[in-house]
Each structure stands twice: as C-alpha cells, then as structure tokens.
Amino acid sequence: MKEVYSIDDLASRERLDEGADQPARLAVIGHPVQHSLSPQLHQPALDEAEAGMRYIRIDIEAGRLADALAAMKDLGFLGTNVTVPHKFEALAACDELDEGASVLGAVNTVLFEDGRALGFNTDGPGFGLAVREEFAVDLKDLRIMIVGAGGGAGRAVAAQCAREGCERLILVNRTLEKAEQLREELAHFFHSERLEGPGDRLVVAPLDSPLLPEEAGHADLIVNTTSLGLKRTDPSPLPGNCLQPHHLVYDTIYNPPQTRLLADAARAGARTANGLSLLLHQGALAFDLWFPGRRPVDTMRRALAAALK
C-alpha cells in the first residue's frame, strides 16, 4: 500500500487495492496532499464503525479533478474530501451542490450517490465550531480579518462569518480583485434596516496596504487561510506590526503546528490556535454526510492526538 496514490492508480480496483485487506472507498484529494492528516482522522472512525473500507490520499494535479471524480465514481467510492487547490474546481465538477457549498463558493466534501457527485462544504460550519472550541466565543460576536480571502478556504471562512452575522469582516488578499468580488457576493449579509448598505462592516484591503496595521487593530479575530506556513521556511502572511495582545489568531494550517504567524502572534501576546480543530470538526461533519447520523468527534480527536505524538 502507498502513502500517496495518483490518478493513474484509479485505473482499476485491482491496482488501487493491491496488497490491501480492505478496499479504498474514501479519500482526500489535493496537490500536494502528502502532509494531510485526514487518513489518520477518518480511518479510526471507519474502523470503529466497522465500515470495511480504507481512507487514502490521492495527489491530483490541477485540471484533473473532474477526471479523478469520474474515476472514483466508477470504482465505487463512497466519497472524498477535497483540499488545496481543487475546491473551486470541485464546485464546477460536481453534478449537484448543496446550499452551503453554493453560498460558500467552494466544495470540500463529495458524496457519490446514484451515479452523481454531490458537493458539500463543511469548512465553513467546521470553522465556526473550531473558533467556539478554541476561544469560547461565537463568530457573530467578533470583528474578523481574513488573510487570503481569495482562495477556496478563505471564501468558505468569510462566507461562514457573514452567514453567522459577524460584527465586522475585513477581507485581505494579495489580488485585490478577488477580495472585491467576494465583498460583492457577501454584501447582502451586511444590509440591515438601519443601514442603506453594508457601510464599513465589510471592508476589503490589499495585503500591501499601509493601512493594514490600523485595520488589524480594529479586529478581534485574525484568520490565515493562505498556504503560507505549510513550509517551515515560509514567512508570515501578515506583517508583525499587525499583531496585538488583544487579538485571537487562528491559522487554518495545522502541519506544522506552529507557523511563523502563530509564533509572531504568541510573541505579541495574542491567543493563538492552529487548524487542527478545523480539521477535526469539518472531518466529523463530512463523516456525517457519508454515514448519516454519525459524527465521531471524540474518536477523531483521540486519533489526531495519537497521530501527532
């Protein structure tokens, strides 16, 4: 059995399951995907449920997602998780989307049912649960800055914050046009009887803005949804002068457990958390989609703790 499979391994069930005791019927697909802890998260839950299947990693290059989903459907997969950089591509590749995926603008979970690929997004709801667990506060009570708002994870997190009625939302992205497009899509969440428009409750800022430290100062929660931090040599996605002691700082990256951003935030006196709790809660929500009525949070929490020892 392999640590990481490729689209070529989806050519046949014999090739995919060579040397394995159980068939692979669930997966996480991404590029890269070697770092993903999703198999360690899901396999113990599958074993506990006596599901009789394996959960694997499949590295799929950009542009091949639709081919991969078609092959997985033909091979009798139950479903798959979708990670960077495929969450947008999955939105178009699925046959049907649930309301959450449509609103959040990205797909991170697929269920194969009756010959169709059904797309969902558990990142947004999982993020809300993660923030509540880590900081004992709800998104609706926070002023939130999202760094990397143009990517799949950033869009999902931003949309969830808007859906839950956060007090203020600051969308930060290197490419300003993507953040502005997201602002237009989310503006209706910020309209109220007292305001003719979203006013300054929904703000867009480029990553190189000289006003970024000031905007960050008005935020309670800062969230990194970029991929900066996956490598230990990566710089922080946010200048150090943006971080203050009153901040809650959440990095959606969980491996490595402390990114440069979190290290800088801790030195500034801020409270910090990495993306492990997001992985846990979005994973449990995905499991519930594949096995309705089952959300094995405790089993998955123990599995993650064991995997990270």
CATH number at residue 215: 3.40.50.720
Structure tokens at 60: 């799929």
Q: What is the CA radius of gyration of the chain?
A: 19
Q: 27, 81 in Cβ contact below 8 A?
A: yes
Q: 83, 149 in Cβ contact below 8 A?
A: no
Give me the tens of pLDDT residue by residue for the chain, a chain 309 residues long: 899 999 999 999 999 999 999 999 999 999 999 988 899 999 999 999 999 999 999 999 999 999 999 999 999 999 999 998 888 899 999 999 998 898 888 899 999 999 999 999 999 999 999 999 999 999 999 999 999 998 878 888 999 999 999 999 999 999 999 999 999 999 999 875 444 445 589 999 999 999 999 999 999 999 999 999 989 899 999 999 999 999 999 999 988 899 999 999 999 999 999 999 999 999 999 999 999 999 999 999 999 999 988
Q: In sequence order, what are the beta bridge partners of 192?
A: 195
The C-alpha atoms of residue 276 and residue 265 are separated, in whole angstroms, by 17
The reply to whether 236 and 289 lie within a common domain is no
Catalytic residues: 87
- State whether the Cα torsion 123-126-132-137 is positive or negative: positive
Q: 86, 59 in Cβ contact below 8 A?
A: no
Tally of domains in the chain: 2
The reply to whether 103 and 141 lie within a common domain is no
The reply to whether 70 and 165 lie within a common domain is no
Distances (CA, A) of 123 to 25, 70, 101, 248: 21, 23, 9, 19
The reply to whether 31 and 110 lie within a common domain is yes
